[in-house]
């Protein structure tokens, strides 16, 4: 197969190289997947530089999220279970080694490609969509009539959050740093857009809400919780999704007491260890929204990335904050041309 192997940590994505590598040998409980599309993530940038919380022993193949076709399936699974997928099935998922033409993956890290979706659309679904659904639905108990503020609304988790909030009957205020990104957020259903490079954004948010009371829920993948307390209403919920802004926030807790608000964390990746029984309900909820046409793929389409050789450029674009949604690389199968 072909893939991007990390033998030593690199300074940046442009140092990554595609090489010929042995095919992965699936363990007894693993499937072998032929990858047709690979999605990029910020944690890929951290991992190739040795700065992520999960660093496999060197050498390893980079990338995680993918969509493709089952090449081989396990004969049986633990406890004598019959494998869910068969050779030829279209699947998406996440497993270390997504920047390659083939990857080995366990069944719990795979889902079926939704009906009518391409590999390109499905590749970026596995990490972002359940993060946003788990936050808004499982953690914040979103309901019809809520006002929801989504920060970095044109990002991968942001566009997922916008669609999920709208599907549940909420009014959505999106923030982003450019007009183009705000237009993208609105095209996915956001009711209002505010540029958060303008320091008055909390006041602008409050003015939009009924009687200036503030929003019910804040969805924050950036690190803007402290400022968001200025525009949250009594009993509001602030969701800590991540720190894409770079700095990990510290804040005075008197604000939490005075406004009777909750700051709620969401670590979707740790549900498999700590609360595995909650994973399937989240996916069932998401697939229901997809079937109802209320959730669509969030793939960045301003520029096309084709072939593993374009992964460095895709990651550079992602890191420069010039993109929106999920940046996905189309991976032609071995023997196919890029055209």
Q: Per residue in 178-211, pLDDT tens?
A: 999 999 999 999 999 999 999 999 999 999 999 9
The domain limits of the chain are: 2-125+298-330, 140-265
Predicted pLDDT of residue 321: 81
Q: Per residue in 292-335, pLDDT tens?
A: 999 999 999 999 999 999 999 999 999 888 899 999 999 997 66
Predicted pLDDT of residue 80: 82
Q: Which CATH number fits domain 2-125+298-330: 3.90.180.10, 3.40.50.1370, 3.40.50.2300, 3.40.228.10?
A: 3.90.180.10
Under 8 Å between Cβ of 271 and 264? no
Statement: 140-265 belongs to CATH 3.40.50.150: no
**Least confident interval from 77-91, 97-111, 130-144:** 77-91
Strand partners, 155: 325
Strand partners, 110: 93
* pLDDT > 70: percent of the chain: 98
Question: Cα(201)–Cα(166) distance, rounded to whole angstroms?
Answer: 21
Sign of CA dihedral 1, 68, 307, 57: negative
β-pairing verdict for 232-240 and 262-265: parallel
């Amino acid at each position: 197969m072909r893939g991007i192997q990390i033998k030593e940590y690199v300074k940046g994505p442009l140092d990554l190289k595609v090489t010929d590598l042995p095919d992965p040998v699936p363990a007894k409980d693993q499937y072998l997947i032929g990858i047709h599309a690979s999605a990029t993530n910020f944690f890929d940038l951290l991992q190739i530089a040795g700065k992520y919380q999960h660093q496999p022993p060197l050498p390893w193949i980079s990338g995680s999220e993918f969509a493709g076709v089952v090449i081989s399936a396990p004969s049986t699974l633990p406890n004598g279970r019959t494998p869910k997928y068969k050779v030829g099935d279209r699947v998406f998922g996440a497993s270390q080694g997504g920047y390659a033409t083939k990857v080995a993956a366990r069944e719990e890290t795979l889902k079926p490609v939704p009906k009518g979706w391409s590999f390109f659309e499905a590749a970026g679904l596995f990490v972002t969509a359940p993060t946003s659904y788990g936050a808004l639905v499982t953690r914040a108990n979103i309901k019809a009539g809520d006002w929801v503020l989504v920060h970095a609304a044109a990002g991968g988790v942001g566009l997922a959050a916008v669609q999920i909030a709208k599907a549940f009957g909420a009014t959505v205020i999106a923030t982003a740093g450019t007009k183009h990104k705000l237009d993208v957020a609105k095209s996915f259903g956001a009711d209002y857009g505010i540029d958060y490079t303008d320091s008055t954004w909390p006041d602008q948010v409050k003015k939009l809400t009924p009687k200036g009371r503030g929003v019910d829920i804040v969805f924050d993948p950036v690190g803007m919780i402290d400022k968001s307390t200025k525009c949250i209403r009594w009993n509001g919920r602030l969701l800590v999704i991540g720190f894409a802004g770079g700095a990990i926030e510290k804040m005075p807790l008197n604000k939490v007491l005075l406004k009777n608000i909750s700051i709620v964390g969401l670590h979707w990746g740790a549900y498999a260890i700590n609360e595995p029984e909650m994973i399937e309900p989240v996916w069932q909820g998401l697939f229901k929204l997809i079937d109802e046409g209320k959730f669509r793929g969030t793939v960045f389409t301003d520029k096309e990335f084709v072939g593993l050789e374009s992964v460095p450029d895709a990651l550079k674009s992602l890191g420069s904050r010039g993109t929106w949604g999920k940046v996905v690389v189309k991976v032609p199968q071995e023997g196919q041309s890029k055209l």
